[in-house]
Amino acid sequence: MKQARHILLLFTCLTITQAALHGAPVTAGGRPDYASDRAARAKALSQPYGWLSLTALQWLKPGITTVGSAADNTVVLAGAPAHLVTFEVKDGKVAVIAAAASLGFHGRPALAGGSRMVIGAGEDDDSALASGPLRLWVIDRGGRRYLRVKDPGATTRKQFHGLRWYPPVEHFRIQARWIPDSPPHGMHVPNEIGQVTSVSVAGHVEFELEGTRQTLVPMEADKDGLWFVFRDATYRKTTYGGGRFLTTDPPSNGLDHPGTVILDFNQAVNPPCAYSPFATCPLAPREDQLTIAIPAGEERYAE
């Protein structure tokens, strides 16, 4: 899902939804192998630089931001050198203007090429600054740049004790109707840091559950499938309050024609914000807040 991956990057919701849900193993009966899928998801989350290793998220305001373990830094970062790095935000760009000898980029000292280094907004491994086990990114959220830090020694990772799931129930694997919208319409999507982004949606799905007709609008839809951020009544007690992610295959007749699509709520998963206060995730938009309960998929993470 090319566009979906872009939105996931925008909201810090990268690989865990699509890696866990698209291409999931299937059983001989044609149903997903939920046990294998769920085990793989836990393994991905607990990788050294998975979402459980997040230790900091800081808006880099215009001007100077210093980072290190010393108390006089703007961002005090345990386990770092006393004065690890100084960032300057100017004219919409972020540059490293001072750095400890341990801070590297692509295996070389960060400032090996001069007295300043402009930092891009990439979020892959190749875009990270490194100091010992620490990894630092300068990401973009709604035109603002944020410092993100991951540490394999994070308490959240060391104390990870597995995920909780509802038992799979066939009742919550539903064939829904895909209804294209012509022209596509806009939808406002809030996120965990108070921003609102407008997305263009190509259609919606309708389905019956518990004797009532329900509607969901995908946050992204393309030739590879649909991606929803939804919330249901279980959020009050057992699921994450900001909503959960659900990814599907593409509609049976493509996006431009009415068709069908399987909504398997047994595959609904939590966003990264369910495990860390240092993630930035989309919240379920108003259109995707269901009043019925769907006790399926991943439950609230128990800290």
User: What is the distance between the alpha carbons of residues 291 and 116, in angstroms, rounded to a whole number?
Assistant: 53
Query: Would the pLDDT of 112 be above 60?
Result: yes
User: What is the distance between the alpha carbons of residues 270 and 108, in angstroms, rounded to a whole number?
Assistant: 37
Q: Are 188 and 154 members of one domain?
A: no
Q: What is the pLDDT of residue 80?
A: 96
User: What is the distance between the alpha carbons of residues 179 and 258, in angstroms, rounded to a whole number?
Assistant: 5
Residue type at position 77: L
**Confidence tier at 7 by pLDDT (50, 70, 90):** very low
Q: Are 79 and 178 members of one domain?
A: no
Q: Are 176 and 134 members of one domain?
A: no
**Which segment of 12-26, 66-80, 157-171 scores lowest on mean pLDDT?**
12-26
Q: Are 153 and 191 members of one domain?
A: no
Whether residue 43 is contained in a domain is answered as: no
User: What is the distance between the alpha carbons of residues 76 and 151, in angstroms, rounded to a whole number?
Assistant: 14
Q: What is the pLDDT of residue 293?
A: 97
Q: Are 83 and 141 members of one domain?
A: yes
Whether residue 42 is contained in a domain is answered as: no
Give per-residue pLDDT as tens, 129-152.
999 999 999 999 988 999 999 999
Q: Are 84 and 101 members of one domain?
A: yes
**CATH at residue 117:** 2.60.200.20
Give per-residue pLDDT as tens, 282-294.
999 999 999 999 9
Range of the domain at 222: 2-35+162-288
**Confidence tier at 302 by pLDDT (50, 70, 90):** confident
Q: Is the CA virtual torsion 125, 129, 131, 134 positive or negative?
A: negative
Q: Are 168 and 276 members of one domain?
A: yes
Whether residue 267 is contained in a domain is answered as: yes
Q: Are 166 and 30 members of one domain?
A: yes
Averaged pLDDT for residues 228-254? 97
Mark which of 158, 184, 202 sits at the end of a domain: 158
Mark which of 158, 183, 205 sits at the end of a domain: 158
User: What is the distance between the alpha carbons of residues 181 and 187, in angstroms, rounded to a whole number?
Assistant: 13
Averaged pLDDT for residues 160-186? 95
Query: Would the pLDDT of 59 be above 50?
Result: yes
Averaged pLDDT for residues 192-213? 94
Whether residue 252 is contained in a domain is answered as: yes
Mean pLDDT, the chain, as a whole number?
90
Q: Tell me the three state secondary structure of residue 256.
A: coil
Total domain count, the chain: 2
Whether residue 21 is contained in a domain is answered as: yes
**Confidence tier at 31 by pLDDT (50, 70, 90):** confident
Q: What is the pLDDT of residue 114?
A: 79
**Confidence tier at 5 by pLDDT (50, 70, 90):** very low
Q: Are 172 and 252 members of one domain?
A: yes
Q: Are 184 and 222 members of one domain?
A: yes
Whether residue 228 is contained in a domain is answered as: yes
Q: Are 86 and 110 members of one domain?
A: yes
Mark which of 110, 130, 158 sits at the end of a domain: 158
Q: What is the pLDDT of residue 27?
A: 52
Query: Would the pLDDT of 115 be above 90?
Result: no
Averaged pLDDT for residues 241-251? 97
Whether residue 146 is contained in a domain is answered as: yes
Whether residue 298 is contained in a domain is answered as: no
Query: Would the pLDDT of 22 be above 80?
Result: no
Q: Are 30 and 179 members of one domain?
A: yes
User: What is the distance between the alpha carbons of residues 78 and 52, in angstroms, rounded to a whole number?
Assistant: 16
Q: What is the pLDDT of residue 303?
A: 62
Nearest to 37, CA basis, from 19, 12, 53, 13: 19
pTM for the full predicted model: 0.87
